[in-house]
Protein backbone atom coordinates (compact mmCIF):
# COMPACT_ATOMS: atom_id res chain seq x y z
CA UNK A 1 0.00 0.00 0.00
CA UNK A 2 1.44 3.37 -1.01
CA UNK A 3 1.00 5.88 1.78
CA UNK A 4 3.44 8.46 0.41
CA UNK A 5 5.63 9.99 3.11
CA UNK A 6 3.30 9.04 5.94
CA UNK A 7 5.04 7.31 8.84
CA UNK A 8 3.87 3.70 8.76
CA UNK A 9 3.24 1.88 12.04
CA UNK A 10 2.28 -1.77 12.35
CA UNK A 11 0.26 -2.45 15.49
CA UNK A 12 0.03 -6.18 16.14
CA UNK A 13 -2.95 -7.52 18.07
CA UNK A 14 -4.95 -4.39 17.25
CA UNK A 15 -8.25 -6.28 17.23
CA UNK A 16 -7.78 -7.37 20.85
CA UNK A 17 -8.70 -5.61 24.08
CA UNK A 18 -5.76 -3.23 24.65
CA UNK A 19 -4.71 -3.20 20.99
CA UNK A 20 -8.06 -1.81 19.85
CA UNK A 21 -7.73 1.13 22.27
CA UNK A 22 -4.18 1.80 21.06
CA UNK A 23 -5.27 1.64 17.40
CA UNK A 24 -8.19 4.02 18.03
CA UNK A 25 -5.95 6.51 19.86
CA UNK A 26 -3.24 6.50 17.18
CA UNK A 27 -5.62 6.62 14.19
CA UNK A 28 -7.57 9.56 15.64
CA UNK A 29 -4.71 11.50 17.20
CA UNK A 30 -2.11 11.11 14.44
CA UNK A 31 -3.59 11.56 10.96
CA UNK A 32 0.01 11.93 9.77
CA UNK A 33 0.65 8.22 10.53
CA UNK A 34 -0.66 5.25 8.63
CA UNK A 35 -1.69 2.55 11.10
CA UNK A 36 -1.71 -1.07 9.97
CA UNK A 37 -3.50 -3.40 12.33
CA UNK A 38 -1.94 -6.85 11.93
CA UNK A 39 -3.96 -9.52 13.72
CA UNK A 40 -4.68 -13.22 13.33
CA UNK A 41 -8.19 -12.80 14.79
CA UNK A 42 -8.01 -15.55 17.37
CA UNK A 43 -10.99 -15.98 19.72
CA UNK A 44 -9.75 -12.75 21.41
CA UNK A 45 -9.55 -10.66 18.25
CA UNK A 46 -12.72 -8.87 17.24
CA UNK A 47 -12.87 -6.29 14.46
CA UNK A 48 -16.19 -5.20 15.91
CA UNK A 49 -14.00 -3.41 18.50
CA UNK A 50 -12.88 -1.03 15.74
CA UNK A 51 -16.06 -0.26 13.81
CA UNK A 52 -15.62 3.46 14.48
CA UNK A 53 -12.11 3.66 12.99
CA UNK A 54 -12.22 1.21 10.11
CA UNK A 55 -13.26 3.81 7.55
CA UNK A 56 -10.46 6.21 8.52
CA UNK A 57 -8.14 6.85 5.56
CA UNK A 58 -5.03 6.32 7.71
CA UNK A 59 -6.10 2.83 8.91
CA UNK A 60 -5.85 -0.59 7.34
CA UNK A 61 -6.17 -4.17 8.52
CA UNK A 62 -4.28 -7.32 7.57
CA UNK A 63 -5.25 -10.74 8.85
CA UNK A 64 -1.99 -12.53 9.57
CA UNK A 65 -0.46 -14.94 12.07
CA UNK A 66 2.80 -13.65 13.58
CA UNK A 67 3.94 -17.29 13.81
CA UNK A 68 3.96 -17.42 9.98
CA UNK A 69 7.61 -16.49 9.37
CA UNK A 70 7.40 -16.17 5.58
CA UNK A 71 4.16 -14.22 5.71
CA UNK A 72 5.57 -11.74 8.23
CA UNK A 73 8.87 -11.37 6.38
CA UNK A 74 7.15 -10.73 3.04
CA UNK A 75 4.69 -8.30 4.59
CA UNK A 76 7.44 -6.25 6.25
CA UNK A 77 9.44 -6.19 3.00
CA UNK A 78 6.40 -5.01 1.10
CA UNK A 79 5.24 -2.40 3.61
CA UNK A 80 8.57 -1.14 5.00
CA UNK A 81 7.08 -0.01 8.34
CA UNK A 82 8.88 2.68 10.36
CA UNK A 83 7.74 1.26 13.67
CA UNK A 84 6.06 -1.72 15.29
CA UNK A 85 3.90 -1.63 18.42
CA UNK A 86 3.67 -5.27 19.37
CA UNK A 87 0.65 -6.34 21.40
CA UNK A 88 -0.38 -9.61 19.71
CA UNK A 89 -0.22 -12.40 22.26
CA UNK A 90 -2.04 -15.21 23.92
CA UNK A 91 -2.94 -13.37 27.11
CA UNK A 92 -4.99 -15.44 29.54
CA UNK A 93 -3.19 -17.26 32.39
CA UNK A 94 -5.88 -19.96 32.76
CA UNK A 95 -5.61 -20.86 29.07
CA UNK A 96 -1.81 -21.02 29.39
CA UNK A 97 -2.20 -23.64 32.10
CA UNK A 98 -4.38 -25.73 29.73
CA UNK A 99 -2.38 -25.18 26.53
CA UNK A 100 1.15 -23.80 27.08
CA UNK A 101 2.31 -24.49 23.53
CA UNK A 102 -0.07 -21.95 22.01
CA UNK A 103 1.60 -19.34 24.26
CA UNK A 104 5.11 -20.43 23.38
CA UNK A 105 4.29 -20.30 19.67
CA UNK A 106 2.63 -16.89 19.57
CA UNK A 107 4.44 -15.09 22.36
CA UNK A 108 7.95 -16.43 21.75
CA UNK A 109 8.16 -17.58 18.13
CA UNK A 110 5.81 -14.83 16.94
CA UNK A 111 7.86 -12.13 18.66
CA UNK A 112 11.09 -13.59 17.25
CA UNK A 113 9.59 -13.50 13.73
CA UNK A 114 8.64 -9.83 14.09
CA UNK A 115 12.11 -8.96 15.41
CA UNK A 116 13.78 -10.81 12.53
CA UNK A 117 11.59 -9.03 10.00
CA UNK A 118 12.33 -5.62 11.57
CA UNK A 119 16.06 -6.43 11.65
CA UNK A 120 16.01 -7.41 7.97
CA UNK A 121 14.29 -4.29 6.67
CA UNK A 122 15.93 -1.79 9.04
CA UNK A 123 19.46 -3.15 8.66
CA UNK A 124 21.93 -0.30 8.22
CA UNK A 125 19.21 2.33 8.63
CA UNK A 126 17.74 2.28 12.11
CA UNK A 127 17.24 6.04 12.20
CA UNK A 128 13.72 6.93 13.33
CA UNK A 129 12.75 3.27 13.67
CA UNK A 130 11.25 1.67 16.78
CA UNK A 131 10.15 -1.77 17.93
CA UNK A 132 7.87 -1.14 20.94
CA UNK A 133 7.11 -4.32 22.86
CA UNK A 134 4.06 -4.31 25.13
CA UNK A 135 4.56 -6.65 28.07
CA UNK A 136 3.19 -7.48 31.48
CA UNK A 137 4.23 -7.09 35.12
CA UNK A 138 3.64 -10.84 35.53
CA UNK A 139 7.20 -11.45 34.25
CA UNK A 140 8.44 -10.30 37.68
CA UNK A 141 6.71 -13.14 39.54
CA UNK A 142 4.73 -12.66 42.72
CA UNK A 143 5.02 -10.28 45.70
CA UNK A 144 4.15 -11.21 49.27
CA UNK A 145 0.77 -10.16 50.62
CA UNK A 146 0.77 -7.21 52.99
CA UNK A 147 4.23 -6.05 51.94
CA UNK A 148 4.92 -2.57 50.69
CA UNK A 149 7.31 -3.85 48.00
CA UNK A 150 6.66 -3.13 44.33
CA UNK A 151 7.76 -4.31 40.91
CA UNK A 152 10.09 -1.83 39.22
CA UNK A 153 12.01 -1.78 35.95
CA UNK A 154 15.03 -3.49 37.57
CA UNK A 155 13.12 -6.18 39.49
CA UNK A 156 14.65 -9.57 38.56
CA UNK A 157 12.51 -11.72 36.29
CA UNK A 158 10.77 -14.64 38.01
CA UNK A 159 7.83 -15.75 35.83
CA UNK A 160 5.71 -18.53 37.27
CA UNK A 161 2.94 -19.34 34.77
CA UNK A 162 3.35 -20.52 31.16
CA UNK A 163 1.84 -17.14 30.13
CA UNK A 164 4.30 -15.05 32.13
CA UNK A 165 7.23 -17.29 31.17
CA UNK A 166 6.42 -16.86 27.48
CA UNK A 167 6.13 -13.08 27.92
CA UNK A 168 9.41 -13.01 29.89
CA UNK A 169 11.07 -14.92 27.05
CA UNK A 170 9.73 -12.43 24.52
CA UNK A 171 11.07 -9.51 26.61
CA UNK A 172 14.51 -11.19 26.65
CA UNK A 173 14.41 -11.64 22.87
CA UNK A 174 13.57 -7.96 22.37
CA UNK A 175 16.51 -6.89 24.57
CA UNK A 176 18.80 -9.42 22.88
CA UNK A 177 17.97 -7.98 19.44
CA UNK A 178 18.71 -4.51 20.78
CA UNK A 179 22.08 -5.48 22.23
CA UNK A 180 23.16 -7.82 19.44
CA UNK A 181 21.84 -6.12 16.32
CA UNK A 182 21.21 -2.55 17.49
CA UNK A 183 17.45 -2.68 16.82
CA UNK A 184 15.89 0.38 18.55
CA UNK A 185 13.48 -1.05 21.12
CA UNK A 186 11.39 -0.01 24.10
CA UNK A 187 9.58 -2.37 26.48
CA UNK A 188 6.78 -1.53 28.87
CA UNK A 189 5.50 -3.86 31.59
CA UNK A 190 1.98 -3.03 32.69
CA UNK A 191 -0.28 -4.20 35.50
CA UNK A 192 -3.80 -5.67 35.07
CA UNK A 193 -6.02 -3.74 32.67
CA UNK A 194 -9.79 -3.40 32.73
CA UNK A 195 -12.34 -1.49 30.65
CA UNK A 196 -14.49 -1.75 27.51
CA UNK A 197 -13.89 -4.53 24.97
CA UNK A 198 -12.17 -7.00 27.31
CA UNK A 199 -13.02 -10.59 26.48
CA UNK A 200 -15.30 -12.00 29.20
CA UNK A 201 -12.84 -14.60 30.46
CA UNK A 202 -10.78 -12.19 32.59
CA UNK A 203 -12.04 -11.41 36.09
CA UNK A 204 -13.94 -8.13 35.65
CA UNK A 205 -15.82 -8.72 32.35
CA UNK A 206 -16.49 -12.38 33.27
CA UNK A 207 -18.10 -11.34 36.53
CA UNK A 208 -20.13 -8.54 34.89
CA UNK A 209 -21.42 -11.03 32.31
CA UNK A 210 -22.19 -13.64 34.98
CA UNK A 211 -24.09 -11.18 37.17
CA UNK A 212 -26.12 -10.11 34.13
CA UNK A 213 -27.12 -13.72 33.54
CA UNK A 214 -27.47 -14.69 37.20
CA UNK A 215 -24.61 -17.16 36.94
CA UNK A 216 -22.26 -17.97 39.81
CA UNK A 217 -19.12 -15.88 40.36
CA UNK A 218 -16.18 -18.30 40.70
CA UNK A 219 -13.68 -16.87 43.21
CA UNK A 220 -10.39 -18.76 43.05
CA UNK A 221 -9.07 -19.97 46.42
CA UNK A 222 -9.90 -17.58 49.24
CA UNK A 223 -10.07 -14.47 47.04
CA UNK A 224 -7.08 -12.96 48.86
CA UNK A 225 -4.86 -12.40 45.81
CA UNK A 226 -4.02 -8.80 44.97
CA UNK A 227 -3.87 -7.13 41.56
CA UNK A 228 -3.02 -3.52 40.62
CA UNK A 229 -5.78 -2.39 38.21
CA UNK A 230 -5.39 0.20 35.43
CA UNK A 231 -8.11 1.53 33.11
CA UNK A 232 -7.26 0.45 29.56
CA UNK A 233 -7.52 3.98 28.11
CA UNK A 234 -4.86 5.09 30.61
CA UNK A 235 -2.63 2.23 29.42
CA UNK A 236 -3.11 3.28 25.78
CA UNK A 237 -2.22 6.82 26.79
CA UNK A 238 0.97 5.60 28.53
CA UNK A 239 1.93 3.65 25.39
CA UNK A 240 1.46 6.83 23.32
CA UNK A 241 3.68 8.83 25.71
CA UNK A 242 6.39 6.14 25.84
CA UNK A 243 6.30 5.51 22.08
CA UNK A 244 6.91 9.20 21.37
CA UNK A 245 9.13 10.28 24.27
CA UNK A 246 10.57 7.13 25.83
CA UNK A 247 14.30 6.50 25.60
CA UNK A 248 15.38 3.73 23.19
CA UNK A 249 16.67 0.62 24.91
CA UNK A 250 14.72 1.46 28.09
CA UNK A 251 11.99 -0.31 30.02
CA UNK A 252 9.03 1.45 31.63
CA UNK A 253 6.78 -0.05 34.31
CA UNK A 254 3.14 1.07 34.06
CA UNK A 255 0.62 0.69 36.87
CA UNK A 256 -2.39 2.24 38.48
CA UNK A 257 -1.22 2.55 42.13
CA UNK A 258 -4.47 0.75 42.66
CA UNK A 259 -4.13 -2.54 44.56
CA UNK A 260 -7.25 -4.55 45.28
CA UNK A 261 -7.68 -7.89 46.95
CA UNK A 262 -9.90 -9.90 44.59
CA UNK A 263 -12.72 -10.37 47.08
CA UNK A 264 -12.90 -6.65 47.90
CA UNK A 265 -12.99 -5.79 44.21
CA UNK A 266 -15.73 -8.40 43.68
CA UNK A 267 -17.82 -6.94 46.51
CA UNK A 268 -17.51 -3.46 44.99
CA UNK A 269 -18.41 -4.82 41.55
CA UNK A 270 -21.46 -6.60 43.00
CA UNK A 271 -22.63 -3.43 44.75
CA UNK A 272 -22.29 -1.35 41.58
CA UNK A 273 -24.04 -4.03 39.48
CA UNK A 274 -27.01 -4.15 41.90
CA UNK A 275 -27.20 -0.36 41.72
CA UNK A 276 -27.03 -0.24 37.89
CA UNK A 277 -29.50 -3.10 37.43
CA UNK A 278 -31.91 -1.79 40.08
CA UNK A 279 -31.65 -5.04 41.98
CA UNK A 280 -31.84 -5.30 45.78
CA UNK A 281 -28.40 -4.77 47.39
CA UNK A 282 -26.87 -8.18 48.09
CA UNK A 283 -28.42 -9.91 45.03
CA UNK A 284 -25.17 -10.13 43.06
CA UNK A 285 -23.08 -10.99 46.12
CA UNK A 286 -25.18 -14.12 46.62
CA UNK A 287 -23.74 -15.44 43.34
CA UNK A 288 -20.21 -15.61 44.81
CA UNK A 289 -18.91 -19.19 44.84
CA UNK A 290 -15.49 -20.12 46.17
CA UNK A 291 -13.84 -22.62 43.81
CA UNK A 292 -10.54 -24.53 43.63
CA UNK A 293 -7.57 -22.18 43.39
CA UNK A 294 -5.73 -21.60 40.10
CA UNK A 295 -2.57 -23.75 39.88
CA UNK A 296 0.47 -21.67 40.83
CA UNK A 297 -1.75 -18.62 41.51
CA UNK A 298 0.48 -15.54 41.95
CA UNK A 299 -0.36 -13.80 45.22
CA UNK A 300 0.23 -10.14 44.57
CA UNK A 301 1.19 -7.79 41.73
CA UNK A 302 1.92 -4.11 42.35
CA UNK A 303 3.83 -1.60 40.25
CA UNK A 304 5.99 1.35 41.15
CA UNK A 305 5.49 3.57 38.08
CA UNK A 306 7.62 6.46 39.35
CA UNK A 307 10.13 6.28 36.46
CA UNK A 308 7.31 6.89 33.98
CA UNK A 309 5.88 9.67 36.15
CA UNK A 310 9.22 11.40 36.75
CA UNK A 311 10.72 11.02 33.26
CA UNK A 312 7.68 11.40 31.05
CA UNK A 313 5.04 12.94 33.33
CA UNK A 314 2.46 10.17 32.88
CA UNK A 315 -0.15 9.55 35.58
CA UNK A 316 -3.30 7.43 35.52
CA UNK A 317 -6.31 9.71 35.02
CA UNK A 318 -9.17 7.70 36.53
CA UNK A 319 -10.10 6.69 40.05
CA UNK A 320 -10.91 2.98 40.22
CA UNK A 321 -14.57 3.28 41.21
CA UNK A 322 -15.18 5.72 38.36
CA UNK A 323 -13.36 3.40 35.91
CA UNK A 324 -15.37 0.42 37.12
CA UNK A 325 -18.63 2.37 36.73
CA UNK A 326 -17.67 3.32 33.17
CA UNK A 327 -16.75 -0.28 32.42
CA UNK A 328 -20.04 -1.65 33.75
CA UNK A 329 -21.95 1.06 31.83
CA UNK A 330 -20.15 0.04 28.64
CA UNK A 331 -20.99 -3.65 29.06
CA UNK A 332 -24.62 -2.85 29.90
CA UNK A 333 -24.87 -0.62 26.84
CA UNK A 334 -23.19 -3.26 24.66
CA UNK A 335 -24.98 -6.45 25.61
CA UNK A 336 -25.02 -7.32 21.90
CA UNK A 337 -21.18 -7.26 21.88
CA UNK A 338 -21.16 -9.56 24.91
CA UNK A 339 -23.69 -11.86 23.32
CA UNK A 340 -21.69 -11.97 20.07
CA UNK A 341 -18.35 -12.76 21.69
CA UNK A 342 -19.78 -15.39 24.00
CA UNK A 343 -21.61 -17.09 21.12
CA UNK A 344 -18.65 -16.75 18.74
CA UNK A 345 -20.91 -14.89 16.30
CA UNK A 346 -18.43 -12.00 15.98
CA UNK A 347 -16.13 -14.24 14.03
CA UNK A 348 -18.26 -13.73 10.92
CA UNK A 349 -17.55 -9.97 11.01
CA UNK A 350 -14.25 -10.34 9.17
CA UNK A 351 -15.82 -12.47 6.44
CA UNK A 352 -18.68 -10.07 5.98
CA UNK A 353 -16.78 -6.79 6.09
CA UNK A 354 -13.30 -7.53 4.85
CA UNK A 355 -13.01 -10.88 3.12
CA UNK A 356 -15.87 -10.27 0.72
CA UNK A 357 -14.89 -6.66 -0.01
Q: Residue 139 or residue 212: which is nearer to ligand NAD going by CB?
A: 139
Options 43-51, 59-67, 202-210, 319-327: segment touching ligand TYD (CB under 6 A): 202-210
CA terminus-to-terminus distance, the chain: 16
Q: What angle do CA 137, 330, 210 make, to 5 degrees?
A: 75
Residue 10 near ligand NAD by CB under 6 A: no
Closest distance of CB 284 from ligand NAD, Å: 23
Closest to 59 (Cα-Cα) out of 22, 114, 17: 22
Choose which of 64, 72, 203, 324 interacts with ligand TYD (CB under 6 A).
Answer: 203
CB 25 within 8 A of CB 240: yes
Options 36-44, 241-249, 284-292, 337-345: segment touching ligand NAD (CB under 6 A): 36-44
CA 92 to each of CA 56, 220, 349: distance values in angstroms, whole numbers, following the listed order: 31, 15, 23
38: β partners: 12, 62
Active-site residue, selected from the candidate residues 65, 79, 90, 138: 138
194 is catalytic: no
User: DSSP letters along 72-134, please?
Assistant: HHHHHHHH--SEEEE------HHHHHH-HHHHIIIIIIIHHHHHHHHHHHHTT--TT-EEEEE
Q: Residue 56 or residue 102: which is nearer to ligand TYD going by CB?
A: 102
CA 107 to each of CA 102, 114, 202, 299, 352: distance values in angstroms, whole numbers, following the listed order: 8, 11, 19, 23, 29
Closest distance of CB 297 from ligand NAD, Å: 16
Among positions 62-121, residues that touch ligand NAD (CB under 6 A) are 65-67, 87-91, 106, 110
Choose which of 9, 10, 11, 18 interacts with ligand NAD (CB under 6 A).
Answer: 18
CB 20 within 8 A of CB 50: yes
**x/- map, 228-267, ligand TYD, by CB under 6 A:** ----------------------------------x-----
Q: How many residues bind ligand NAD (CB under 6 A)?
A: 30
3-state helix/strand/coil string of 307-348 = HHHHHHCCCCCCCHHHHHHHHHHHHHHCHHHHHHHHHCHHHH
Q: Could you tell me the sign of the dihedral formed by the alpha carbons of 354, 58, 326, 227, in that order? A: positive
Among positions 271-310, residues that touch ligand TYD (CB under 6 A) are 294
Residue 143 near ligand TYD by CB under 6 A: no
Options 25-33, 59-67, 218-226, 270-278: segment touching ligand NAD (CB under 6 A): 59-67
| Positions marked catalytic | 137-138, 163
The residues that touch ligand TYD, with contacts defined as CB under 6 A, are: 93, 192, 202-203, 206, 218-220, 225, 227, 262, 294
The residues that touch ligand NAD, with contacts defined as CB under 6 A, are: 12-13, 15-19, 39-42, 44-45, 65-67, 87-91, 106, 110, 134, 136, 167, 190, 192-193, 199
Amino acid sequence: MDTGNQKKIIITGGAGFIGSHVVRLFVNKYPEYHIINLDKLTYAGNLGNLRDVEIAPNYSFIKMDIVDFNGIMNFFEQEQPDAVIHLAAESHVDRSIEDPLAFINTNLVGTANLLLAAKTIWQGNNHGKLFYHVSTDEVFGSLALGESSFFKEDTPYDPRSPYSASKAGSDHLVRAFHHTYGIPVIISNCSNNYGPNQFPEKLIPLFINNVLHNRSLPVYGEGINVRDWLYVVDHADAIDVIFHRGRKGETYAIGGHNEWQNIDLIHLLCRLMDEKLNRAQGSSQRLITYVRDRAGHDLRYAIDASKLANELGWQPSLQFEEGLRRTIDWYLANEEWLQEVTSGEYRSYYDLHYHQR
